[in-house]
Amino acid sequence: MGAKGNPQTIKQVGKGLRKGILTKKNRTLAQKRAKAGYLFVLPFIIGGVSFTCIPLIRSFIFSLSKLSITATGYDLHYVGFKNYVDVLTVDAYFRVQLFNSVKEMLFNLPLILIFSFFAASLLNQKFKGRTLARAFFFLPVILASGAILTSDTSSIIMQQITGSGQSAAEASDSMFTSNAIYMFLYNSGVSEAYTQYIVSAIDRIYDIVLFSGVQILVFLAGLQSISPDYYEASMIEGATKWENFWKITFPMVSPMILVNTIYTIIDSFVSEQNELIERINTVMYTNFKFGFGSAMAWVYFIVVFIILAIVTRVISKRVFYYD
């Protein structure tokens, strides 16, 4: 019996046609948003794969070899994982600088996130000169960019602003009198660890402001995306501002916390002020130990990748996504 006279076959064909139509045209809102998101990041994915895959592969090959400069180019002699063993066992400075980089990141991360969220909350309020204030908070990012100033020039300008030849930390110490704050907290019964942390945060106020510009913009965008209807409904129900913060504001901006955390970690590890980055550049381009320097870079990359994976895993479980 042909397909024309078989009701079951006709039913299956119709079901398949309906399924195809629903798949192509009648997508859900979540599917449309997911497609738009993939299309948005597609140029970055293509660019990243096109411009980083070959250097990454070549760097990994260099890390497994001993590179010798010749008149016609360079020669590679395969040595296996000897460079990695030497990085972790022979070079003691690398381990110390790696530990200091991770410790510095863990110290600055909560300070930058708290300050940027606090600043974004203030800039989200309605007041005169709000646009100028937003530009002022983002100004340190522009001044610190390589297209405008080098890090040395930025330090000189900071010295001119403070009116002395002091460094940024020393100027901050003189302005905020960290010693007086230390004695006040200590006499108030605050523990030694918290006192040291607060005083160190005050001494680093310039660096915190300098590295918080992008995070402030991200938090500000997240705060502006929250509908005022939520706050109006909660106020009608008798909720306080404190309850609104923990029940509405904080959950709604939690995706931005994840984004800013990842950005801050990466920015901390690739900063020009990072001693480990300077050491890797010195080993490779001054001492011409490309194999050893490539191994150092790959160990550094693996450590950063593991930290990002752990942090993303922990924070993503507590992120609230509004559907």
Is residue 24 in some structural domain?
Answer: no
Q: Beta strand 74-78 with 65-69: parallel, antiparallel or unpaired?
A: antiparallel
Is residue 267 in some structural domain?
Answer: yes
- Please report the pLDDT score of residue 7 as a whole number: 54
- Please report the pLDDT score of residue 142 as a whole number: 66
The number of angstroms, rounded, from the C-alpha of 320 to the middle of its chain's C-alpha atoms is 19
Is residue 183 in some structural domain?
Answer: yes
Is residue 303 in some structural domain?
Answer: yes
Is residue 127 in some structural domain?
Answer: yes
Q: How confident is the model at residue 18 (pLDDT cuts 50, 70, 90)?
A: low
Identify the residue with better confidence: 164 or 303: 303
- Please report the pLDDT score of residue 245 as a whole number: 87
d(CA 110, CA 261): 9
pLDDT digits (tens, 9 = 90+) for 42-78: 998 888 888 888 888 888 998 898 888 777 778 888 8
pLDDT at 183 over 60: yes
Tell me the average pLDDT across 3-18.
Answer: 54
Look at the pTM and tell me if it is higher than 0.85: no
Is residue 76 in some structural domain?
Answer: no
- Please report the pLDDT score of residue 160 as a whole number: 46
d(CA 155, CA 235): 48
Tokens 């522009």 sit at which residue?
142
d(CA 317, CA 248): 18
CATH classification at residue 144:
1.10.3720.10
Q: Where are the beta strands (DSSP E) in the chain?
A: 65-69, 74-78
Identify the residue with better confidence: 183 or 260: 260
Q: Of 215, 205, 203, which Cα lies nearest the Cα of 177? A: 203
User: Which residues span the domain enclosing 233?
Assistant: 83-316
Task: Give the chain's radius of gyration (CA, Å).
Answer: 27
- Please report the pLDDT score of residue 217 as a whole number: 87
Q: Please, is 200 exposed, middle or buried when counting C-beta atoms within 10 Å of its C-beta (0-12, 13-18, 19+)? A: middle
Q: What is the percentage of the chain residues whose pLDDT exceeds 90?
A: 11
CB within 8 Å of 145: residues ≥ 6 apart: none
Q: How confident is the model at residue 26 (pLDDT cuts 50, 70, 90)?
A: low
pLDDT digits (tens, 9 = 90+) for 216-274: 888 988 888 888 888 888 888 888 888 888 888 888 888 899 999 999 998 888 876 67
End-to-end CA distance of the chain: 50
Q: What is the percentage of the chain residues whose pLDDT exceeds 70?
A: 72
Is residue 64 in some structural domain?
Answer: no
Tokens 């990041």 sit at which residue?
41
Q: Please, is 261 exposed, middle or buried when counting C-beta atoms within 10 Å of its C-beta (0-12, 13-18, 19+)? A: buried
Is residue 225 in some structural domain?
Answer: yes
d(CA 245, CA 49): 40
Q: Are 261 and 311 in contact (CB under 8 A)?
A: yes
Our count of domains for the chain comes to 1
Phi, psi dihedral angles at 77 (to 5 degrees): -120, 115
pLDDT digits (tens, 9 = 90+) for 119-170: 888 888 877 777 777 777 777 666 655 544 444 444 444 444 444 445 555 5
The residue type at 294: S
- Report CA-CA distances (Å) from 191 to 187, 197, 200, 214, 285: 10, 10, 14, 33, 46
- Please report the pLDDT score of residue 225 as a whole number: 86
Residue 138: in which H helix or E strand, if any? helix 130-144
pLDDT digits (tens, 9 = 90+) for 206-218: 778 778 888 888 8
- Please report the pLDDT score of residue 163 as a whole number: 44
Average pLDDT, the chain: 77
Tell me the average pLDDT across 102-113.
Answer: 88
